[in-house]
Amino acid sequence: MNKVYFKYLLHTNRNIIAVLFMTCFLIYPFMIFFVDRQMFYSQALDACIWYSFILMILTFCIPIYMQNKRLKKKSVDTFYSLPIKKEKMYHTEMIFGLFLVFVPWVFNYLLGISQYWIKEGSLASGKEVLILIACLIYGFIQYSMNYFLVGKCNNVLDGVITLFAYDFLPVVIFVVAGSFIDMNTVGINAYDVVNFANMSVHGAMYSLVYYFIYRLHYSTLFLNFPIGFLFLLLHCILGILAYREAWRDYVCKPLEEAEQKTTSAWSYRFLIPIYCMLYLSLATYNNGIEIMTITGVLVFLGYLAATFVSNRAIKISARSLVFFASVLLVMNIFTYVFRENKAFGLNEMFPTDYAYVDLDLYINLYDEQKNIQADVSLSDEEIITSLQDLQRVCIDRFYEGQGETIGSLLISYKDSHGKKICNYNYSITKGDEEELLELLKKSGYEIEITDWDIKVE
Amino acid sequence: MLEIKNISKSLGGNSVLKHCSLKIEDGKVFGLVGVNGAGKSTLLRCIAGIFQVEEGEILIDGEPVYENEKIKKQILFISDDPYYPLNATLTSLKKFYQTFYDWNEERFQEFYKIFNLPLDKPINNFSKGMKRQVFILISLAIMPKYLILDESFDGLDPVMRLNFKRALMEILADGKMTVLISSHSLRECEEICDAFGILENGCIQTSGDLEALKNQVHKIQLGFKDEISKELFKDLDLLYFKKVSHIVTLVVRGDIEEIKQYLKLLNPILMDVLNVSFEELFIYEIMKKEGNFYE
C-alpha cells in the first residue's frame, strides 16, 4: 500500500466520507433513537438487519466509484503515469474502498446498538455482534466480487450493467427454473424443488447477508445451522479468489482497453447467452404456439437490445441470429426430452421417511350433481403404496394429456410431529373417484352417500 | 538517455508500433511528428509507462520504465486532453501533483505570475487554452527530468505560446530536462526542438538533429533555356520534383556543393538555393515515402 496515495484519497474524498457518515447515521442510530420503547426489542433488531442492506448497496456502488478512473482514457493517462506501481495502487484503492464501505457503516452500527446498551444496560437480543461479524465477512466477499467484475469491464456503463445482471441472475434462475418445473411436472410444488433461499445463497449476491441474518434471526441457536457455515466457507473462498483475481487483473489488464467495448468472457459474452437461455426455456412448444411466439419475440427483442448495448452498434450479425435460433431449438428439444422422460423421475420422488399421509380431496361430479369432499389421514403402508400408484396414473395422464378434470387432490406427507415433508397436488379425472373411494374404504373410513354429497367419515 | 529498442504495440488488434527504435540524448527538445494515426500518442504513452509494450524495451539511463517507480518519478506526461477531477481547482490539482512529484513552489509562483490563472476556480469552467496553461504551469513547477507533452501547444494563444516557450527555454538552459513534444504545429516544433523524429507506419522513419537535417536537405529552383527532362535528375536523392515550363523546383538530399556541381553541368540559366522549413521537410519526407514526390 502507498501511504501517500492513501492520504491523498482520504483528503480528496472527505466530502464523500462525510456524506456516508451522515447517511448511515440518519438511517440507523438516528431512527433507533425514535423507536417506541414498547416496540423497542423487535424493531431494534429488525432495524439492525435492514441496516445491513445499506452495506450491500455500498458494496455495489463503491467498486464502481473506485475503478472509475481505470475505465476512462483521460484518467488512465494521468493515474498510470504516476510513479506508483500498479500493485501498490491496487492495494491502496482496494483498502480505501473497504474503508469507504465499512468505516461509516460500522461506526454508525456501533452507535446504534450502543443505544440499547445505554437505555437497557444490555443488547436487544445478543445477536448484534454476530450480525456485525456476518456483515463484515459478507460485505468483504461481495465487495471483492463486485470489484473483480467491474475490473473485467472496460467502461462504467458496462460495469454497472454487469453488476446488476450478476446480482439479479440468482433470482432469474429461481423464477425461470420454478416456472419451467411448474409447467413440465405434475403434482410437485416447483418452489419446493427450487428453493429460493438456497438459490440466493448459491448466487452469492445481494441476498447473501439477508439469508445469513435470516437464519440468525429465526433460529434459536446459530450453531443449529451448520449449513450456514458451509456456505460461509464457500463464499470466503470465493471472496479471497475474487480479491486475488481482481489484483491480478488490475496489474495485467492492458490500460488501452479503457473506454473500449467490453469483450471479457465475464461480462456480456457470458451474461447474454445465459439470460437468453433462461428466458427461452419459457418459449417452448408445450405452452402452445401463441405463448411460444409471444415469449420468443419478447426474448428476441431483449436479446437484440442487449446485443446492441454490448456492441454499441445497432446491427445484428448472422452469427447472433443463428445463436438465438439454436438456443430456441435446444431449449425446445430439452423440454421435449424432459417431458418424454416424465421429468426424469422428478414427479415420482416420493418421500420415504414419513409417518402418515394427509389427503385433502375435492371432486365435483357434475353428472350426479354431487360433491366428494374429504380431509383424511392414511398411515397403512399398503394403502399408501396404492395411493402412490394412483399418483403415478395422474402423472402419466398429465404427459399423455388425457381425461376431463373433475376435481383436485392434495396429498401431504408428514412426519410423526405432524410437520409437512412435502405436498403433491393433482387434477382428478373421471374414473379416479371410484379408485379413491375404494382406497378410503380399505383404510377404514365410512362412505356415506347423501342427496348432495358423498361424505367420508 | 532515453532508449527505445525495437518496440511493438498493438491497439484493438491493429499493430500501431512495429519494431520502433529511437534514442534521445539528455537535455534535448525532441519533436515527434507524424501524420494522424501514425502512433505518436501511443509511443508517448509507452514511454510514460502507461502502456506496456509487447516487444522490445524502453530504457531510461539503462533502466526499464514500465512499473519502475524510481524512473517514473523522473517523467511527467501531459496528454492532449489532461484529466482533472470534477470541481478540481488549480490549488487542488497542485496538491495532487505535489503528492507524487518533487514540487518547486518558488518556480510555481514565478510562472504563476506569468500565466495569471485563477487559483480557486473550477478548472471545468476554464477555456481549452486555460486548461492547457494549467498543466503547462504544473509541468514547469515540477520540472521533471523527462517532460512528455502530447500536443500540448494546441489551443494556446500566441502570447501564451511565447510565454511557454520562453519559460521552457529558461529551464532548458540548465540542460537538466529533456522534453518530448508531439505536435501538429511543425512551425512551433521547429522553433523549440533541436531534434526530431518522424513516425510513420509504426516506426521512426527519420530522426536526428534538426539543423543537421536541414543542412542535408535543400530546395533549389532552376531555370533552363529549353525544356528539360526529369530523367536528368535521376542521380540525385530527390524528395520533391516540380516542373513548370522551363522552371524546375527540386528538394534534394545531400551535400549542397556536390549537388550544385551536378546541377551546373546541366547549364541552368538560373539556380537559387532556398531555405527548407521543418514543415516542408516533413511533407516532402512523407510524400516521398508515399511515392508521389513528382508533380
The structural domain count of chain A equals 3
CB within 8 Å of chain A, chain B residues 66-95: 67, 69-70, 72-73, 75-77, 79, 81-83, 85, 92, 95
B295 domain residue, yes or no:
no
**Mean pLDDT lowest among A63-77, A93-107, B96-110, B170-184:** B170-184
User: Closest partner residue to A75 among B73, B83, B99, by Cβ?
Assistant: B83
User: Closest partner residue to A78 among B12, B42, B82, by Cβ?
Assistant: B82
Orientation angle between helical segments A318-340 and A268-280, nearest 10 degrees:
40
B129 domain residue, yes or no:
yes
A280 and A398 part of one domain? no
Per-residue pLDDT at B91 exceeds 50: yes
d(CA A352, CA A392) in angstroms, rounded, equals 16
Taking only the tens place, the pLDDT of each residue in A330-389 is: 999 999 999 988 888 888 888 888 888 887 877 776 666 667 777 778 777 888 888 888
pLDDT of residue A49: 67
d(CA B59, CA B76) in angstroms, rounded, equals 15
Q: Are A215 and B13 in contact (CB under 8 A)?
A: no
A165 domain residue, yes or no:
no
Per-residue pLDDT at A268 exceeds 90: yes
Considering chain A, what percentage of its residues have pLDDT values greater than 70? 82
Q: Is B285 left (phi over 0), alpha (psi -120 to 50) or beta?
A: alpha
Q: Do A5 and B99 touch (CB under 8 A)?
A: yes
Residues 6 or more apart from A121 whose CB is under 8 A from it? none
pLDDT of residue B266: 85
Which of A308, A326, A346 is the endpoint of a domain?
A346
Considering chain B, what percentage of its residues have pLDDT values greater than 90? 8
Grid coordinates in use for B257?
556543393
Confidence of residue A266 (pLDDT cuts 50, 70, 90): very high
pLDDT of residue A203: 45
pLDDT of residue A16: 93
CA A455 to each of CA A196, A434, B188: distance values in angstroms, whole numbers, following the listed order: 39, 13, 105
Mean pLDDT of A427-432: 79
Q: With a cut of 0.85, is the ipTM above it?
A: no
A180 domain residue, yes or no:
no
B97 and B53 part of one domain? yes
A206 and A274 part of one domain? no
A227 and A128 part of one domain? yes
Q: Are B22 and B202 in contact (CB under 8 A)?
A: no
B140 and B266 part of one domain? no
Q: Measured between beta carbons, which residues in chain B are less than 8 angstroms from residue A74?
A: 79, 81-83
Mean pLDDT of A421-437: 80
A279 domain residue, yes or no:
yes
Nearest-CA neighbor of B193 among B183, B205, B204, B206? Answer: B183
pLDDT of residue A202: 45
Closest CA in chain A for residue B92: A12
Taking only the tens place, the pLDDT of each residue in A312-324 is: 888 888 999 999 9
Taking only the tens place, the pLDDT of each residue in A8-67 is: 899 889 999 999 999 999 888 888 777 665 555 566 666 776 787 888 889 889 999 999
Q: Measured between beta carbons, which residues in chain B are less than 8 angstroms from residue A260?
A: 12
A124 and A240 part of one domain? yes
B119 domain residue, yes or no:
yes
Q: Measured between beta carbons, which residues in chain B are less than 8 angstroms from residue A86?
A: 67
A124 and A203 part of one domain? yes
Q: Are A199 and A173 in contact (CB under 8 A)?
A: yes
Q: Are A327 and A342 in contact (CB under 8 A)?
A: no
B165 and B239 part of one domain? no
B124 and B197 part of one domain? yes
d(CA A131, CA A129) in angstroms, rounded, equals 5
pLDDT of residue A148: 93
Give B157→chain A minimum CA distance, Å: 23
Per-residue pLDDT at A235 exceeds 50: yes
B186 and B245 part of one domain? no
pLDDT of residue A201: 47
Q: Do B82 and A75 touch (CB under 8 A)?
A: no
CB within 8 Å of chain A, chain B residues 16-55: 42, 45, 48-52
Domain range for residue A427?
350-456
Confidence of residue A204 (pLDDT cuts 50, 70, 90): very low
A181 domain residue, yes or no:
no
User: Closest partner residue to A81 among B11, B12, B48, by Cβ?
Assistant: B48
A25 and A106 part of one domain? yes
Grid coordinates in use for A109?
452500527
A63 and A212 part of one domain? yes
Give A93→chain B minimum CA distance, Å: 16
Confidence of residue A209 (pLDDT cuts 50, 70, 90): low
Per-residue pLDDT at A449 exceeds 80: no
Closest CA in chain B for residue A263: B12
B208 domain residue, yes or no:
no
Q: Can you spell out the DSSP letters for A40-81?
A: HHHHHHHHHHHHHHHHHHHHHHHHHHHHGGGGSHHHHHHHTT
CATH number for B149:
3.40.50.300
Mean pLDDT of B112-130: 84
Taking only the tens place, the pLDDT of each residue in B188-235 is: 777 778 888 888 888 888 788 877 877 888 889 999 888 888 888 888
Mean pLDDT of B239-268: 87
Closest CA in chain A for residue B76: A81
Mean pLDDT of A390-403: 83
B241 domain residue, yes or no:
yes
Which of B176, B201, B226 is the endpoint of a domain?
B201
pLDDT of residue A455: 67
Q: Measured between beta carbons, which residues in chain B are less than 8 angstroms from residue A77?
A: 45, 48, 50, 77, 79, 82-83
B151 and B283 part of one domain? no
Mean pLDDT of A206-218: 51
A247 and A355 part of one domain? no
A223 and A362 part of one domain? no
Mean pLDDT of B147-176: 77
Helix or strand run (H / E) with residue A204: none
A42 and A149 part of one domain? yes
Domain range for residue B233?
213-289
B111 and B14 part of one domain? yes
Taking only the tens place, the pLDDT of each residue in B269-288 is: 898 888 787 777 777 777 66
Grid coordinates in use for B104?
518547486
B206 domain residue, yes or no:
no
Taking only the tens place, the pLDDT of each residue in A135-170 is: 888 888 889 989 999 999 999 999 999 998 988 887
Kindly list the strands in the beta sheet with B146-150, ordered across the sheet, starting from the edge strand earlier in the chain: B75-78, B146-150, B178-182, B29-33, B195-200, B203-209
Taking only the tens place, the pLDDT of each residue in B17-52 is: 888 888 888 888 888 888 888 888 999 999 999 999
pLDDT of residue B290: 64
A121 and A30 part of one domain? yes
A175 domain residue, yes or no:
no
The structural domain count of chain B equals 2
Per-residue pLDDT at B84 exceeds 50: yes
B79 and B106 part of one domain? yes
B33 and B121 part of one domain? yes
User: Closest partner residue to A77 among B70, B75, B79, by Cβ?
Assistant: B79
Which of A346, A378, A411 is the endpoint of a domain?
A346
d(CA A20, CA A38) in angstroms, rounded, equals 30
A53 and A106 part of one domain? yes
Count of CB pairs separated by less than 8 Å, A with B: 65
B197 and B219 part of one domain? no
Give B124→chain A minimum CA distance, Å: 14
A115 domain residue, yes or no:
yes
B167 and B232 part of one domain? no
Which of B170, B201, B232 is the endpoint of a domain?
B201
Per-residue pLDDT at B183 exceeds 60: yes
B207 domain residue, yes or no:
no
pLDDT of residue A408: 81
> Which residue has 515515402 as its cell numbers?
B289
A69 domain residue, yes or no:
yes
Per-residue pLDDT at A222 exceeds 70: no
Chain mean pLDDT for chain B: 84
CATH number for B222:
3.30.2130.10
B141 and B218 part of one domain? no
A167 domain residue, yes or no:
no
Closest CA in chain B for residue A89: B67
Chain mean pLDDT for chain A: 81
pLDDT of residue A22: 94
Give B69→chain A minimum CA distance, Å: 5
B127 domain residue, yes or no:
yes
